[in-house]
Amino acid sequence: MHVMNYPLFFTTIAITGILSACNQTGTTNKEAEKDTTAAAVTEKTYLSQPLVTNIYTADPSAHVFNGRIYVYPSHDTATGIPEDDLGSHFDMQDYHILSMDSVGAKVTDHGTALKITDVPWASRQLWAPDAAFANNKYYLYFPAKDSKGVFHIGVATSSKPEGPFTAAKTPIKGSYSIDPCVFRDDDGKYYMYFGGIWGGQLQRWNNNQYDSTKANRAGDEQAVLPRVARLTPDMMSFAEPVKEIKLLNEKGELYKEKDNSQRFFEAAWMHKYIGKYYFSYSTGDTHNLCYAIGESPYGPFTYKGVILKPVEGWTSHHSIIEQNGKWYLFYHDVQLSGKTFLRNVKVTELHYNPDGSIQTIDPAGKQ
């Protein structure tokens, strides 16, 4: 989750009003008033409405636990920190977990599930989390910066899906960057997908070694690749060294950084459909949610298309779940605030074509 000072994805704000002109003495100029016409009225349109309005939420990781949908979002707040390209102003302090019986049902905000002050190793910025269930307990995975300002991924546990969660004393060994997504395969093995460039620091990690001097890739350089690692049975650590995921274009080639309408930026998500692995992600500075398909949880994954066109706001981050035979896309925009750092979580139905491709969604509700 990252922001730059780019213009919002604007639709026109609804305006009405009659302009009056005044003469030099300050009296109303009736002739000018007669010639004034009302501005055109165009309503903003949205495909769906925010799940909650009492707090600002973003980066929704949704799961079905015990037949109920639980959403694990970031909790946006206005901290007063100036906006920059590294997302420093996203200084989240805690997590609130949401739940509902089904899409369209009443949404419950379960309150604070974990605070940064309860994470021994973390200094700031509780960014986009995810959750999993195994071993009769619930695991919350989250990125945060350590005392040196380097992102790592932590884990916390609870006996309930809504928490509260108790954080481990140290981050997961070998973890780095942001946006963890934990996926359970059909054989019961769990994998963590993660990474985000720019403020997410993924460009500083090569061969799992950190180099603070590494800058963003130049246009003709190979794009930074997302990461994956299988988890140990206790869900608390990696069972293997972190691997790069090959994300290929439709010609079977790795992307270059200049291919920013399709290359990986952040917000990895994995789900399975008709036996195929669907790796979806955000392109960041071009604001698309895209997907690629592979035959293995490790990839390679071949690009197939756009799931969600750019939302109102800068960032795009999502999750995909199935409940009762229907598939749903959870995402966010800035409908409530109009500010890139105060977002709100939404959901809409996801549709597949007979060949397994995903139908592209327009967040403005246009066909």
Report the side by side order of strands in the sheet with 276-282: 247-248, 301-308, 289-294, 276-282, 266-273
Q: 227-230 and 209-210: which strand pairing?
A: unpaired
Give the residue numbers annotated as catalytic, written as ranges. 59, 266
d(CA 204, CA 197): 9
Check: CB of residue 105 under 8 Å from CB of residue 70: no
Report the side by side order of strands in the sheet with 94-100: 56-65, 68-76, 94-100, 108-115
For 346-354, which contacts have Cβ atoms below 8 Å and span 24 or more sequence positions? Answer: 346/46, 346/47, 346/48, 346/49, 346/50, 346/51, 347/48, 347/51, 347/60, 347/62, 347/103, 348/47, 348/48, 349/103, 350/307, 350/320, 351/327, 352/273, 352/327
Distance of CA 127 to the CA centre of its chain: 9
User: ω before 300 within 30° of 0 (cis)?
Assistant: yes
Residue 35, H or E segment: helix 30-35
Check: CB of residue 276 under 8 Å from CB of residue 270: no
- Closest to 178 (Cα-Cα) out of 257, 103, 284: 284
